[in-house]
Amino acid sequence: MARAVFEGAKEVQEIDSKLKIDFEATPVDLGEADALIVGMPTYHHDMTRSIKTLFEDTASKGVSLKDKIGATFGSYGWSGEAPNMILEIMEKQFEMNVIQPSLRIKNKPNEKGLEECRNLGKKVAEKVKARVLK
C-alpha cells in the first residue's frame, strides 16, 4: 500500500516525494516535510508502538507540524481504527491540515484498493504543489 501511495505522489511534477518504510523517519524529518502520509495496519484495535513513539518524540522535541498536510491509510482484518486514530492525532495534537477520511482497506488490497492508494498519494502531492505555487 505504501509503495502505491508513493507511486501516486511521484506522478505530480515538481514535488519531491520520499518513501520511508519501517519508521525510519525522525522528528526532524517530519518537521522538514511539507506533508506526511502515514500507513498503519490495525493490531488489536490499536496502532503500533513505533508510530506512538515517533509522535511522542516529535511532540517532546517541540517539532511543529502545524498546517502541514496529513493523510493516513491502512489495512485491517476486523476493526481498522489505527489510521483514524493517527489522523486524529495529526489533526488535534499537531494541528495538521488533514485529508478526511482515512483510506482503510480490509485485508490485502486488490488492484482497486491499490488504485485508491495511488490516488491518495497524488491528492496529497497536488495539495503540496498548490500550496508551494501560491
Residue 103, classified by CB atoms within 10 Å of its CB into exposed (0-12), middle (13-18) or buried (19+), is buried
Quick one: pLDDT at residue 61?
96
Least confident of 19-23, 74-78, 96-100: 19-23
pLDDT at position 124 over 90: yes
- Which of 62-98 are b and which e, b meaning 16 or more Cβ less than 10 Å from the residue's Cβ? ebebeebbbbbbbbbeeebbbbbbbbebbeeebebbb
Could you tell me the residue ranges of all domains in the chain?
A: 2-122
Alpha-carbon torsion, ordered 77, 70, 112, 4, to 10 deg: -100
Average pLDDT over residues 70-99: 95
Class of the 2-122 domain?
alpha beta
Quick one: pLDDT at residue 78?
85
pLDDT in tens, 10-59: 999 988 888 877 667 889 989 999 999 999 988 888 888 889 999 999 99
The amino acid occupying position 115 is E
pLDDT at position 122 over 90: yes
Average pLDDT over residues 104-113: 95
Residue 98 pLDDT class (50, 70, 90 cuts): very high
